[in-house]
Amino acid sequence: MSRTHGPALPARADVEEAARRLAGRVVRTPVLHSPAIDRLAGARILLKAENLQDGGSYKMRGAMLAVGRLADAGHTGVVAQSTGNHAVAVALAARRHGLAATVVLPVDAAPVKVDRARAAGARVVRAGTTVEERLAVARRIAEVEGHPLVDAYDHPDVVAGQGSASLELIEEAARRGTPLDALVVPVGGGGGIAGACLAAAGTPIEVYGVEPVGCDSLARSLAAGRPTPVAPAPSLADGLRPGCVGDLPFAVARTGVRGVVRVDDDAIGEAFRLLLLDLKVLVEPSGAAALAGALRLGEPAGPGGGAGTAAGPGGGGTPWPSGGGRRRTVGVVLTGGNVEADLVARLAGDRTTAGAAA
Amino acid sequence: MSRTHGPALPARADVEEAARRLAGRVVRTPVLHSPAIDRLAGARILLKAENLQDGGSYKMRGAMLAVGRLADAGHTGVVAQSTGNHAVAVALAARRHGLAATVVLPVDAAPVKVDRARAAGARVVRAGTTVEERLAVARRIAEVEGHPLVDAYDHPDVVAGQGSASLELIEEAARRGTPLDALVVPVGGGGGIAGACLAAAGTPIEVYGVEPVGCDSLARSLAAGRPTPVAPAPSLADGLRPGCVGDLPFAVARTGVRGVVRVDDDAIGEAFRLLLLDLKVLVEPSGAAALAGALRLGEPAGPGGGAGTAAGPGGGGTPWPSGGGRRRTVGVVLTGGNVEADLVARLAGDRTTAGAAA
């Protein structure tokens, strides 16, 4: 009974419907702005603070939508797997809807995510370190328990729900009189960027994805024309390390994404510190990667660097001119804020890469 | 030409007028909420995130109001002194109004505050470590330059401006259907709490002040019936260490404040971590002190602890029952977020006091 996608892809109307259903049930997170970040980026940067969302990440949106529909359909429990934030979100969404939840997390999951899933009342199962290992366990549990599996990204409700964050950002930017020219979203399994593509469909807004170096399944998939797995490299951004972008997200993103930029741990750490010390918000490295990507896209293209690293349908060029042209407005989705205290302390105090983004 | 208060104290109407003048000129900061913090406090805690204000603190409100009126009156420059946030705010406000600014900071000011004042275009003068030393230098500069001195708290526009943060919090709580029963504000020179008293005037909302242990000039002043200086003890909360509450703030607070609670560095550090890791915002220790105070007020009164440490007109008792009574809603003003990276790293990684507030 879990929903799967048929030949018809979700569309902008699905994101609008998701936003209507979620209104008042998730936090309408603020859109933040910093002159210092604008100067670094060479553009007006509007940051959607989904780290302030219930459960600490935008995954709450897709989870509330998907679990709510399952509850409406009479289900009494759900199963989910993820590196952490989706599991926490499904656990919280299940509790709000009175459903039981079992979530499968990797054995090396961030303890804060395990604690949060348990605090939300979910049964936590630890299994393996790869998405394939977790999926196998989650599918077995779903079969034994007779409860549907809510996929972390390969699910139309999850894509539409995550897309509602982008839709709110697009609306708020327009309300302020600075409509978005571009939207930058970090890419793990692709649910968020697929949702962003849907939210931006029919507008002139260019959608860019950001992947950690060595975890660039979307960039490779766009180049190959089909979902292409990678063996994910180590990265600060633990949420952006699925081995392969989902089929449904890829089907949406292949026509909707303008480019993908890769960022390394130094750039992610620098963006983390900017968000913390200048913007005053705690964003997990997977979310900070989005700002790192937006800053990278603003750099002049050149040999071995700059926006020339962008891949995909419209890769290359400098998306936001730092010079004479009209100043562009760029939306960045700060997807979550669940970070270990030790990592916060380490990144906040790290000065070896200070100024790397400047 | 600097405005001073006459026999007539400012009133709620002045805060409402301040809010009107500031609308669209400062950030209407979000009101945040966390179930985990509610559980710790035994009350619904609504947190006004003035760390997300322009300049990184609510001091921007009073500075914009005061400097704006001076600009309207034809002044071409202003002088200010503070431990940091007021100076940064006056520097930013002066730039926005096209005025020159000279700000006097202590020789041991947080470097981030010095940098921010300079980045806003102000001339920065370093002098002494006490408010008296800075005031003497600031008065001399004001006289030589012929520019008015904008006091950090003993100024009706500053009190009314800071009060607009409390007014917005009161309005937002009511809009959500959970009107405030109490309002908790950290106390340095007293501008913020005086503004809070004015914003709450004519409502049943109880206003509580929070002071670091050993920096309790307001508590002592309320007990003595007149402004009473202290030799400020060392505290994490560098913004809450003026030697004496201002005359005007005291005149307002003596009838408006229900109680004052003292918090130590352990409690401030624990509140800092809660705000950072659970709420996902960076709040400076002076702002985190407000949450520490709200948590302390929620503890059962007992020998040597609990809300029994509250002093002032209504000191004593347990302001928000954690037991059977109706759950109370408590507003907390998170006044600023300007913190050194090293201090963030140290406090985030410090586990010696973890759970102290729990």
**Full DSSP string of A185-230:** EE-SSSHHHHHHHHHHTTSS-EEEEEEETT--HHHHHHHHTS----
Cα–Cα distance between A156 and A135 in angstroms, integer? Answer: 18
- SS3 at position B44: strand
Write down which residue in B89, B111, B145 finishes a domain: B145
- SS3 at position B70: helix
Q: Which residues does chain B have within 8 Å of residue A349's beta carbon, measured at their own beta carbons?
A: 341-342, 344-346
Q: Which two tokens stand for residue A321?
A: 């001119």
Cα–Cα distance between B65 and B53 in angstroms, integer? Answer: 15
Report the candidate in B256, B180, B313 with the shortest Cα–Cα distance to residue B10: B256
Contacts within 8 Å (CB) and 24+ apart, B113-117? B113/B83, B113/B84, B113/B85, B113/B87, B113/B88, B113/B338, B114/B84, B116/B55, B116/B56, B116/B88, B116/B91, B116/B338, B117/B84, B117/B87, B117/B88, B117/B91
**CATH at residue A177:** 3.40.50.1100
> Among residues of chain B, what percentage have pLDDT more than 90?
80
Q: How many CB atoms lie within 10 A of CB B82?
A: 30
Binned at pLDDT 50, 70 and 90, residue B5 comes out as very low
Do residues B70 and B140 both lie within one domain?
yes
**Full DSSP string of B177-220:** T---SEEEEE-SSSHHHHHHHHHHTTSS-EEEEEEETT--HHHH
Do residues B117 and B181 both lie within one domain?
no
Cα dihedral B57, B59, B62, B66 in deg (nearest 10): -120
Strand B100-105 and strand B77-81: pairing? parallel
Do residues B206 and B84 both lie within one domain?
no
Closest approach of A46 to chain B, Cα-based (Å): 14
Report the candidate in A171, A206, A175, A189 with the shortest Cα–Cα distance to residue A328: A206
What is the complex's ipTM, to 2 decimals?
0.90
Among the residue ranges A101-110, A190-199, B206-215, B269-278, the one predicted with the least confidence is A101-110
Closest partner CB to B56 (pick from A112, A280, A337): A280
Closest approach of A32 to chain B, Cα-based (Å): 8
Residue B192 lies in a domain: yes
pLDDT the model gives residue A83: 81
Closest approach of B312 to chain A, Cα-based (Å): 34
Among the residue ranges A192-196, A229-233, B163-167, B184-188, the one predicted with the least confidence is A229-233
Cα–Cα distance between B280 and B295 in angstroms, integer? Answer: 18
Cα–Cα distance between B123 and B60 in angstroms, integer? Answer: 18
Q: How many CB atoms lie within 10 A of CB B13?
A: 11
To the nearest 10 degrees (0 to 180), the angle between helices A12-22 and A59-72 is: 80
Q: For residue B31, what is the enclosing H or E element?
A: strand B31-32
Closest approach of B219 to chain A, Cα-based (Å): 31
Do residues A27 and A43 both lie within one domain?
yes
Cα–Cα distance between A198 and A217 in angstroms, integer? Answer: 20
Closest approach of B95 to chain A, Cα-based (Å): 14
Q: Searching chain B, which residue's CA lies closest to the CA of residue A339? A: B277
Do residues A119 and A199 both lie within one domain?
no
A281 CB-side CA count, 13 A: 34
Cα–Cα distance between B183 and B179 in angstroms, integer? Answer: 11
Do residues B235 and B160 both lie within one domain?
yes
pLDDT the model gives residue B239: 87
Do residues B257 and B320 both lie within one domain?
yes
A256: containing domain: 12-57+155-349
How would you class A30 by CB atoms within 10 Å of its CB: exposed for 0-12, middle for 13-18, buried for 19 or more?
buried
Mean pLDDT of chain B: 90
Do residues A253 and A112 both lie within one domain?
no
Model pLDDT for residues B104-138, shown as the tens digit of each residue: 999 988 888 899 899 999 999 999 988 889 999 99
Closest partner CB to A273 (pick from B280, B281, B341): B341
Mean pLDDT of the B132-156 span: 95
Q: Which residues does chain B have within 8 Å of residue A30's beta carbon, measured at their own beta carbons?
A: 30, 52
CA distances from B158 to A43, A98, B153, B289 (A): 33, 49, 6, 21
pLDDT the model gives residue A10: 94
Residue A4 lies in a domain: no
Binned at pLDDT 50, 70 and 90, residue B315 comes out as very low
Write down which residue in A145, A176, A191 finishes a domain: A145
Model pLDDT for residues A27-65, shown as the tens digit of each residue: 999 999 999 999 999 999 999 999 999 999 999 999 999
Q: Is B344 close to A349, i.e. CB distance below 8 A?
A: yes
Cα–Cα distance between B329 and B46 in angstroms, integer? Answer: 7
The angle formed by the CA atoms of residues A270, A272 and A275, to the nearest 5 degrees, is 110
Do residues B138 and B231 both lie within one domain?
no
Residue B315 lies in a domain: yes
Cα–Cα distance between B55 and B119 in angstroms, integer? Answer: 11
pLDDT the model gives residue B358: 29
Residue B271 lies in a domain: yes
Cα–Cα distance between A261 and A277 in angstroms, integer? Answer: 24
Q: Which residues does chain A have within 8 Å of residue B341's beta carbon, measured at their own beta carbons?
A: 273, 277, 348-349, 351
pLDDT the model gives residue B314: 41
Strand B206-212 and strand B182-186: pairing? parallel
Under 8 Å CB pairs connecting chains A and B tally to: 68
Q: Which residues does chain B have within 8 Å of residue A339's beta carbon, measured at their own beta carbons?
A: 277
Contact A57, A298 (CB under 8 A): no
Number of structural domains chain B divides into: 2
Q: Which two tokens stand for residue B95?
A: 């730039």
How would you class B98 by CB atoms within 10 Å of its CB: exposed for 0-12, middle for 13-18, buried for 19 or more?
exposed
Do residues B29 and B19 both lie within one domain?
yes
Closest approach of B230 to chain A, Cα-based (Å): 32
Do residues A325 and A184 both lie within one domain?
yes
Q: Locate tokens 């109004």: which residue?
A: B97
CA distances from B117 to A212, A320, A348, A350, B295 (A): 36, 29, 22, 24, 33
Among the residue ranges A344-353, B26-35, B262-271, B281-290, the one predicted with the least confidence is A344-353
- SS3 at position B46: strand
pLDDT the model gives residue A159: 98
pLDDT the model gives residue A352: 52
Q: Which two tokens stand for residue B96?
A: 């926005």
Q: Is A345 close to B341, i.e. CB distance below 8 A?
A: no
Write the CB contacts of A250 (distance below 8 Å, at least 6 apart in sequence): A190, A194, A218, A221, A226, A227
pLDDT the model gives residue A309: 44
Q: Which residues does chain A have within 8 Å of residue B337's beta carbon, measured at their own beta carbons?
A: 280
Residue B150 lies in a domain: no
**Which of B96, B277, B280, B346 to substitute to test the interface with A, most A CBs within 10 Å?**
B280
Q: Is B282 close to A283, i.e. CB distance below 8 A?
A: no
Q: Is A280 close to B280, i.e. CB distance below 8 A?
A: no
Closest partner CB to B349 (pick from A112, A283, A341): A341
The angle formed by the CA atoms of residues A116, A119 and A124, to the nearest 5 degrees, is 75
Residue A5 lies in a domain: no
pLDDT the model gives residue B242: 83
Mean pLDDT of the B196-208 span: 98
Q: What are B182's strand-pairing partners?
A: B206, B330
Q: Which residues does chain A have within 8 Å of residue B349's beta carbon, measured at their own beta carbons?
A: 341-342, 344-346
Q: Locate tokens 């913020």: which residue?
A: B192
Write down which residue in A94, A121, A145 finishes a domain: A145
**Which of A277, A280, A335 to substitute to test the interface with B, most B CBs within 10 Å?**
A280
Cα–Cα distance between A69 and A35 in angstroms, integer? Answer: 41
Q: Which residues does chain A have within 8 Å of residue B358's beta carbon, measured at their own beta carbons?
A: none
Q: B interface toward A at CB cutoff 8 Å?
A: 30, 32, 51-52, 56, 112, 273, 276-277, 279-283, 337, 339, 341-342, 344-346, 348-349, 351
Q: What are A334's strand-pairing partners?
A: A49
Q: Locate tokens 């809807």: which residue?
A: A97
- pLDDT tens-digit profile, chain A (358 residues): 344 445 589 999 999 999 999 999 999 999 999 999 999 999 999 999 999 999 999 999 999 999 999 999 999 999 999 888 999 999 999 999 999 999 999 998 888 889 989 999 999 999 998 888 999 999 999 999 999 999 999 999 999 999 999 999 999 999 999 999 999 999 999 999 999 999 999 999 999 999 999 999 999 999 999 999 999 899 999 889 888 999 999 999 999 999 999 999 999 999 999 999 999 999 999 999 999 999 999 887 644 444 334 444 344 456 776 556 678 999 999 999 999 999 999 999 886 544 333 2
Q: How many CB atoms lie within 10 A of CB B342?
A: 12
Q: Is B280 close to A281, i.e. CB distance below 8 A?
A: yes
Phi and psi at residue B168, to the nearest 5°: -60, -40
Q: Is A280 close to B51, i.e. CB distance below 8 A?
A: yes
Do residues A22 and A98 both lie within one domain?
no
Q: Searching chain B, which residue's CA lies closest to the CA of residue A57? A: B280
pLDDT the model gives residue A326: 78
Residue A150 lies in a domain: no
Residue A37 lies in a domain: yes
Q: Which residues does chain B have within 8 Å of residue A345's beta carbon, measured at their own beta carbons?
A: 344-346, 348-349
Q: Which residues does chain A have within 8 Å of residue B353's beta carbon, measured at their own beta carbons?
A: none
Closest partner CB to B280 (pick from A56, A273, A342): A56
